[in-house]
Structure 1
Amino acid sequence: MTMRTRLLRRRNIIRTLKKWIPKLRFILFAVGVTWLFVLPSKQYSKRTYISENALLPGQVKTYYSWSEVNEASVYAESIESLVNASSLEKAAAIERELRKSGFKTATQNFTVNILGKPITGVNVFAILNAPRGDGTEALVLSAPWKSKDGITDNINGVAAALSIGNSLKKYTYWSKDIILLISDGAEIGVQAWLEAYHDYQRSDMIGSPLLLRSGAIQAAVNLDFPGTHSYRALGLFFEGLNGQLPNLDLLNIVVRICRVSAYIPVMLHETGHIYQYNDDYGDYKSSLHNLITTMKFQALGHPTGNHGLFLRYKIDAITLYGKVDEEVNQQKFRFYEIGSVVESTFRSLNNLLEHFHQSFFFYLLPSPERYISIDHALALWASTGDDPNIQSAPSSSVTVTATPGSSKDAKHTVDDLAVALPYNRRPRRIAFPLAVLIGTHAAGLVILFVVKNHFDISRLAELFGIPGYLSTLSLTSSISIVTTSVLVTTLESRSLANSRSQPLRPANLTPSPDWAVLKCFSLAYTGMIISCLSVLNYSLAVFVALAVVIPFSLFRPTEQQLLRALQLFVLLVISPPGLLLLSGVDIRAFLEWQLSEYLVLGNYLLPFVCCTYWPTILAYGIIVFAPVR
């Protein structure tokens, strides 16, 4: 009786699972999407706190005074007169001012070839040796010539950096060297300086060696205050290259100082809600906006400021941005508040006994003073490849043997208790599906090669009157179509040959169709990619999952032309060319931007799309066109 009860229970459980598992994937997907909209609520975020007790933000008296403010105003006038000067003239003027103040200064010339166009620039930097240090650790205060939009001149940012440097030099409590860096050429200039500082050499970027050096850089603060305006709020940009983030303590220092010392309104990035002194959350709408903006920047992998290049060298960095507001009645701030915040921040960083390590490196910020830890953000993304239309294998009888000493010492065949398995135990041929995945990824490598040579292809196409970006897009799409067509034709020939050569067999002995094995591999591969990506670039993993989880789990071959056309349409929409067309961006500018990001800065979005995402799309295209046999 015990065995009979156990078999009955097992059969009921399996029947229930077989009924609900196909629906579970939709439930899990809905839970994951809903979770994203729950995260910005106040109940699922925590108030930020300082993990490193030695930092003591806002606990010191700052000495940046109105005499330094007047000095900064003079610097701003001088810098404004250099707006149309060459890089060499700008560098010479800055170096001259730094030497007047008693700094050790040096310049770095660099040249980088981007898409066949040589870009040159000159970086200027100076080092303030710590009176109480041995030169083994340093902090960086940087300011680019251009603001983050690449158009507006960063006049107040450079002037503030020079003025703050002069102010910091007057005091002897520094235990870490301070490096002043005025960079040229936006992120490229910082990249050239960092590579030279760490003795990294590459063939496509030529930079002169640095004549001055200090120790290991612990942290960096980048100033971006465009124009000569006063500012409404202090914007915080913290996303780095490939979605890297600085230690949360660095942001907490700046926000705490703005709250308790400088009384400056703060905001995340440059759009959205401005957080006043007693406002730590705002509302749900502003939190959702901040979350989506942060995830967008992270997914693209582009650094949101010059600070983003420091993060790849394990240097925590942040950009302070001046939000310009033309409203007359709003409270404004300028050099005095900027200098006080930067000085107090550097005083806190000067207290570091070791590298930032205690606070979070993986987080999302719905507001400057609230954070979402990664344990809340990593919701379950799962789907099943189980097909409810697959019939079960014929049931086998279960033979039960009574134990010695029981009332019935004989064998009992209980056919009525046979357990129907929710799947078929069938042979699976994996060689061809694996070859298909290898073939699609080989096509992805060819696509990446074509995109990398976009400039040469464009020049050749323009000789025939064809826009360069259109030729690259057409060529990559043609590679995708040819690869899919060849593999689908091979799959059809293979399926036809198998059906002719094999006699009729029971369902449990017939090999699984190639498309089913290919779909199993593709689903497992997609899940593996999303899982690995979630701990490298969580935001990119979320957007990939939103795009592909439901379509990939539903796609299958069909003889209904309308359903097949619908599946093909969805594949075209979520493919890279389809997403580009739907986004409405300038395709030529986007291709050149992504290519320069990949070749110069090392942004991995382009190789990820070409070598991982696009080949997976091709594999599912083959599944859609597979023969139904």
Structure 2
Amino acid sequence: MAENEPLIKPKPRPIIRIGLFLISHSPLFSVVCCTAGILALFLLPVLAKNTYVSENALLPGSASPMLSHDDASEGHRFMNKILNLDSDTNSGIEIPELVADHMIELGGEVNYHKFQPASNKFHPLHFFLAPDAGKIQENYSCSSYGVNTVGIIRAPRGDGKEAIVIVTPYNSVNISMGEALSLGVAYSVFSVLSRVSWLAKDIIWVAADSKHGEYAAVSAWLRDYHTLSFGDMKEICGESTLPTGKMTQVTGEVISNGFRRAGTMAAALVIKVADSSSEFEKDVLNIYAEASNGQMPNLDLINVFNYLAVHGQGLQVRVEKIWSLLDSWWLNSLGELLELLGKVAKSLNPQWKFGIPVADYVEGTATLASSLYNQALGVPTGPHGAFRDYQVDAITMEISPKFSSNQRIMFLLRVGRLVEGAIRSVNNLLEKFHQSFFLYLLTSPSRFVSVGVYMIAFALLIAPLPLVAASLFSNASKSNSGKDKISFKHSLPSESVLTFASWKWLFAAKTVIIVHLWSAVVTLLPFSLYQIPNSSPSIKLFIWIVLSAVSLLFIYAVSGSFSFSRTSEPQETEWARLKSVTIAATFIGLCLMSVINFATAEIGALLLVPMCLTVVPLRLDVKVNTTRALLRGACNVLLVFMSFPPTIFLVLKCSLYGFDNIRFSDFWNWAESLWTWNSATYIYVCMIHLPCWILCIHTLLHRC
């Protein structure tokens, strides 16, 4: 090779060339990906699949129900005893004792579980932990404790290592007709299961005293079931004030003081009966499955109940939906467009099954939006959520009956057979639920969208973020490197100039880190605000806002982040580096949140990604002074305004409940509900969404 022959640089690898191409065309790539991500969300009802039972061992409906008309009649008599007991104050017997007596008559092992409600005070160290429902409040009257009545049937074919739980919440102070009916259903099923020979798992019936809340009663019992500490109520209240150890007035037997346990819980079912409804033509079964931080039970459990209710007992199964979307004109128009596209696709190729009827699309979208919202909120939709904290698959089934007073026995028969069939299916399992999906969104009781489908929309939404961040940083470095060399060439060697330019992103990173540290302070402020006595939610919210704003101004002033002019860095590239680091931090935060609660990350990406990608300093648009630039500035202001967390909350509440129910303290109450349930959505709003919003405002107001 000749000495003067130039060296040929090797070509970069194809993956690197693709990356460089996407970075150089990041604006076009961002528009395509964001548009495709939003369209993918609206196509999810079309892409939903029919549910199916994955675990063959479940065999729903393969056996004839054993619950007879006589069992339903016994349950009806038991229900009447409870209602008469509640109205008769001179009987000397309370509802827990009556339930315990009948459990013992059926051959069950019975014990009382005593608890007091948990304190709802905010504590920053309690996040990602189950609500401490067993913690006794200070200065709480011992006469107001709750008493759960627990009965256990030992399986004749089991070894005591597995159990199925039935929960019936009721208010022991003022029991309703629906709660009495749910107790009657559980008694009928408990009576049948105490006589069958096929039972391989123990049955636990928990009559949960819900005068302090349904979730608190169930969570307190679960906490003691899975731990060795049973609370300090005996020591605090004294043994004489508790019903445990007392001889029952009906059977004359003594209930043990010990906490009785069965095996590992295979599944749990919460039975609730709502008031009679004339809205539907037949009895309606409402299924609630969402637990804390978006956790869902195995889809097979929902499939079993849906199959048995529809094909076995002729019930109408429903899941929660956002009713206001059903009358939305734009959603109906989109459904008509998709239906038309489906017809065109089918005419081109009969095997292309694309598109669904308008009514199915609208209802599926309303149900999908409700499922996404409830999972993103991170708050359980029923007492079944307490079981998911211990990785037990559970749902709440709420039946809305439509019958007259003389048809209660038939209602008990139908619902009792449904519960019996579901328990028989779970009893067939040799292992825990694992075959079907744990990450899914429901579009109807019989259709679902798996995580492999709905994660595509999230991936498309966040895909432009790292590319735009790299593009901004690269352009800022290129445009600024020459100016740095000219201004410093007489004082610094060339190597120092290159090193100094390559580390300029640290100025922007300092601002981003400071804002995120401030967000941690905002997250912890409610802990101090709760120490203020006799303060209303409006006052707490006002103090929270004022302290947050003052602390932000103080931190900015101390750190010098308000100083936009630097001798070492021109202002026209400073905002680009700041936006680049902001986008990178937002991308990392959304990815981390998707691991904890995918639905929260999905909604967060919808709100944050457009704002992060489009925001530029307003002064740039004013300097250009064209219609396009002014429109861009107006859109940026609108996006920043609409992405403010209180604004999002108010808009969402107005769309769901109307403008008449809006109050200033609603945002505080909403935030309080999030930290009470230890929802990770509170952490997301305060430590990911809010810092990104502040940094976008910083970029928007940057002086160029």
TM tier, smaller? 0.7 to 0.9
- Please report how far the alpha carbon of residue 157 of structure 1 lies from its aligned counterpart in structure 2 after TM superposition: 1.5
Task: Map residues 76-155 of structure 1 onto 2, 5 A cutoff.
Answer: 76-81=79-84, 89-115=94-120, 120-145=145-170, 154-155=179-180
Aligned 1:243-392 pairs, distance under 5 A: 243-269=294-320, 283-324=360-401, 334-379=411-456, 380-382=460-462, 383=464, 384-385=468-469, 386=471
Residue aligned with 1:571, SS: helix
How far apart, CA to CA, are the structure 2 residues paired with 1:179 and 1:203?
21
| Alpha-carbon spacing, 1:156–1:469, altered in 2? closer, same or farther (3 Å) | same
Aligned-partner SS, 1:306: coil
Structure 1 residue runs without a partner (length 5+): 274-279, 397-424, 462-467, 503-508
Aligned to 2:645: 576
Contact 1:428 1:517 in 2 (8 A): no
Residue in 2 that maps onto 1:160: 185
Note if contact 2:149-2:207 (Cα within 8 Å) is conserved in structure 1: yes
Against the structure 1 CA distance between its residues 391 and 448, is the aligned structure 2 distance closer, same or farther, given a 3 Å change threshold?
closer
2:293 counterpart of 1:242: yes
Q: Would the aligned equivalents of 2:575 and 2:702 in 1 still touch at CA under 8 Å?
A: yes
Distance in 2, matches of 1:521 and 1:28, equals 21
- Residue deviations 1:269-326 (CA, integer Å, cap 9, x gap): 37879xxxxxx99711221111111111111111111112111211111111113559
Q: 1:395 to 1:516 in 2, by over 3 A?
A: closer
Moved more, 444-453 or 290-299: 444-453
Is 1:138–1:215's contact at 8 Å kept on the other side of the alignment?
A: yes
Q: Which residue of 2 aligns with 1:233?
A: 284
1-side partners of 2:480 and 2:215: how far apart? 66
> Residues 488 and 626 of structure 1 are in contact (CA less than 8 Å); yes or no, is this contact kept in structure 2?
no
Q: Counterpart in 2 of 1:60?
A: 63
Structure 2 residue corresponding to 1:221, chosen from 256, 269, 282: 269
2:167/2:205 contact within 8 Å kept: yes
| Distance in 2, Cα, partners of 1:488 & 1:395 | 26
| Superposition RMSD in Å | 4.2
User: Residue 618 and residue 538 in structure 1: after superposition, are their counterparts in 2 closer, same or farther (change >3 A)?
Assistant: same
Secondary structure (helix, strand or coil) at the match of 2:531 reads: helix
Q: Which residue of 1 aligns with 2:539?
A: 471
Aligned in 2, Cα 1:428/1:626: closer, same or farther, shift over 3 Å? farther
Aligned residue for 1:50, secondary structure, equals coil
**2:549 corresponding residue in structure 1:** 481
Structure 1 residues 588, 17: closer, same or farther in 2, change over 3 A?
A: closer
| 2:128 equivalent in structure 1 | none
CA-to-aligned-CA distance 1:429-456 (integer Å, 9 cap, x gap): 3444333333323333332333245543
Instruction: Tell me how far apart the structure 2 counterparts of residues 320 and 76 of structure 1 sit (CA, whole Å).
Output: 19
Show the counterpart of 2:224.
Answer: 196
* TM-score, with structure 1 as normaliser: 0.79
2:32 to 5, 27, 30: 27
Q: Which moved more, 1:444-453 or 1:536-545?
A: 444-453
SS of corresponding position for 1:372:
strand
In the aligned structure 2, how far is the partner of 1:511 from the partner of 1:271? Answer: 47
SS in 2 for 1:64: coil
AA at the equivalent of 2:398: Y
> Once the 2 structures are TM-superposed, how far is the Cα of residue 183 of structure 1 from its aligned partner?
1.3
Contact 1:480 1:618 in 2 (8 A): no
Q: Does 1:545 align with 2:602?
A: no
- Map 1:396-415 to 2 at 5 A: none
What is the Cα deviation at residue 528 of structure 1?
2.0
The CA deviation at 1:594 is 4.7
Deviation at 1:75, TM superposition (A): 2.5
CA distance in 2, matches of 1:395, 1:586: 50
Contact 2:178-2:272 within 8 A present in 1 as well: no
Deviation at 1:174? 0.9
SS in 2 for 1:255: helix
Matched position secondary structure for 1:221: strand
> Is the partner of 1:126 in helix, strand or coil?
strand
2:271 counterpart letter in structure 1: L
1:472 is aligned with what amino acid? K
| Structure 1 residue identity aligned to 2:284 | A
- Give the drift of 1:361: 0.8
- Shift of residue 494, structure 1, vs aligned partner: 4.4
Q: Identify if the C-alpha distance between structure 1 residues 590 and 195 changes in structure 2 by more than 3 Å, giving closer, same or farther.
A: farther
1:211 aligns with 2:286: no
* Structure 1 position 126, deviation (Å): 0.8
Please give the secondary structure, in 2, of the residue aligned with 1:552.
Answer: helix
Q: Residue 443 of structure 1 aligns to which amino acid in structure 2?
A: W
Structure 2: distance between partners of 1:84 and 1:368: 39
Residues 476 and 576 in structure 2, CA contact (< 8 A), matched pair in contact too:
no
Aligned residues: 569
| Pair 1:558 & 2:625 matched | no
CA pair 540-204 structure 1, distance change in 2 beyond 3 A: farther
Q: Is the 8 A contact 2:309 2:418 kept in 1?
A: yes
| Cα shift at 1:228 | 6.5
User: Would you tell me which structure has more helix in proportion to its own residues?
Assistant: 2
